[in-house]
Amino acid sequence: MIHILVTGGAGFIGSEFVRSLLASRPGVRVTVLDKLTYSGVAANLAPVAGHPGYAFVRGDICDPVLVDEVMAGQDAVVHFAAESHVDRSIAGAEEFVRTNLTGTQVLLDAALRHGVGRFLHVSTDEVYGSIATGAWTEEQPLAPNSPYAASKAGSDLLALAQHRTHGLGVVVTRCSNNYGPYQFPEKLIPLFTTRLLAGRPVPLYGDGHQVRDWLHVSDHCRALALLLEGGRAGEVYHVGGGTELSNRELTGLLLAATGTGWELVEQVADRKGHDRRYALDGRKIREELGFEPRVRFEDGLAATVAWYREHPQWWQPLLERAALE
C-alpha cells in the first residue's frame, strides 16, 4: 500500500488530484494537509469524504511540529499548497514568501528526516518570465516578474537543492494555466464565467493581447500521476496544454459560451508587470513518459462553463470570500 501526503489538497488542482487518485488507484492512502485559506474549500473534497483511503488534516505547512507528525509513514509527497494568485501577490507579498518558501522548506526537511522516497513539487511556467516567440525548455534560466512567480521560482530552487545536497527524490513540474471545475472564482475563467452567468461585467486587463497556454486540470493531474511513478529525481518536467489564446480571444469564447456580448467587457488598467506570453515545450514528458494532453480545449471549456452553470451553490458563497480578503 502506498501512502501519499497531498498538501493544498482542498484547492483547485490538489482536490482534482485527490479525487482522481482515490477513484483510480485501489489501496492508495491519501492524507491531505491543508490550512483552508480563502482558496481552500472543504466542499472540493466532499466526494471522497467517506473513502476508506482518505484522511484530512487541517494545518499549516509552515508548522514544523505538525508537518513532522503528518510526514511519518508517508511514501511520497505531492506539494500543491501555495499562495497562488498573482494579483494578491502584487497587493502584498508577505504571505507568498511565508507559505511558498518557508512552507516548502519545512516540508522538504521533514520529508528528508522521514525517508520519503518521492517529493513532487508542483510549480508554474510563470517562473520563466515572458517569451515573445517559441517555447521554453526545462533548461531555460528563471526570470520571474511577479512576487508570486518569484516565490514559486525560489521554492523550485529549494526543492532541487534538497535533491542535490541531500539526495531527496524531488521532481519539479511546471505547468501552464489550468482550467476546469472547482477553480476559485478569482482566476480568469471562473471569474468571467460566474460574472457573465449572472449578467455582470467582466474586467479585461489592458489590451487583452496577453497570451496564455491552457491545460485542463484532469490532464495536469494525469501528468502528475505519471511523474509520481516515472519522473527522474532531480529533474524538471513541463506540462503544457497546447492551446494558446490571448485573453481577448478567450473572453470572446466565454461570451459565446454564456450567451452574452462584448457590452459586458470593461477594459481596465493593465496588471503591473503583466507578462505578455508564456509557452512551454512539452517534449521531455512526451518522450520519457508518453504524456499528451487529451481534453480538446473546446470540449473542456464547454464542460467547465456547464459545471459553473450547474453549481451556483458551490461558487456563490466564494464570491463573497474572494471580495472580502
Catalytic residues: 125-126, 148
Q: Give the one residue of 61, 191, 197, 236 binding ligand NAD; rule: CB under 6 A.
A: 61
- Please work out the total of residues on this chain that contact ligand NAD, with binding judged by CB under 6 A: 30
Specify the stretch interacting with ligand NAD by CB under 6 A; choose among 9-17, 259-267, 278-286, 292-300.
Answer: 9-17
| 212 contacts 242 by C-beta, under 8 angstroms | no
Pair type for strands 211-216 and 243-246: antiparallel
Instruction: Please report whether residue 171 would count as binding ligand NAD according to CB under 6 A.
Output: no
- Identify whether the C-beta of residue 99 lies closer than 8 Å to the C-beta of residue 83: yes
Shortest distance, position 27 Cβ to ligand NAD, whole Å? 25
- DSSP string covering 71-140: HTT-SEEEE--S---HHHHHH--HHHIIIIIIIHHHHHHHHHHTT-SEEEEEEEGGGG---SSS-B-TTP
Q: Give how far Cα 115 sits from Cα of 11, 108, 200, 301, Å.
A: 27, 11, 51, 41
Alpha-helix residue ranges (DSSP H) falling in the chain: 12-24, 64-71, 86-91, 94-96, 104-113, 147-166, 188-197, 217-230, 247-258, 283-289, 297-310, 312-324
Binding mask 121-140 for ligand NAD (x = CB under 6 A): -x-x----------------
In angstroms, the CA 51 to CA 53 distance is 5
Closest CB 160 distance from ligand NAD, rounded Å? 16
62 binds ligand NAD per the rule CB under 6 A: yes
- Counting contacts by CB under 6 A, is residue 82 touching ligand NAD? yes
Which is nearer to ligand NAD, 201 or 244 (by Cβ)? 244
The nearer residue to ligand NAD, 122 or 279, going by C-beta atoms, is 122
CB of 292 to ligand NAD, least distance (A): 19
The residue from 40, 231, 240, 293 that contacts ligand NAD (CB under 6 A) is 40
Binding of ligand NAD by 156 (CB under 6 A)? no
Q: Per CB under 6 A, which of residues 174..203 are in contact with ligand NAD?
A: 175, 177-178, 184
Q: Residue 119 has which C-alpha cell? A: 517529493
Instruction: Please report, as ranges, the residues that interact with ligand NAD according to CB under 6 A.
Output: 7-8, 10-14, 34-37, 39-40, 60-62, 80-84, 99, 103, 122, 124, 152, 175, 177-178, 184
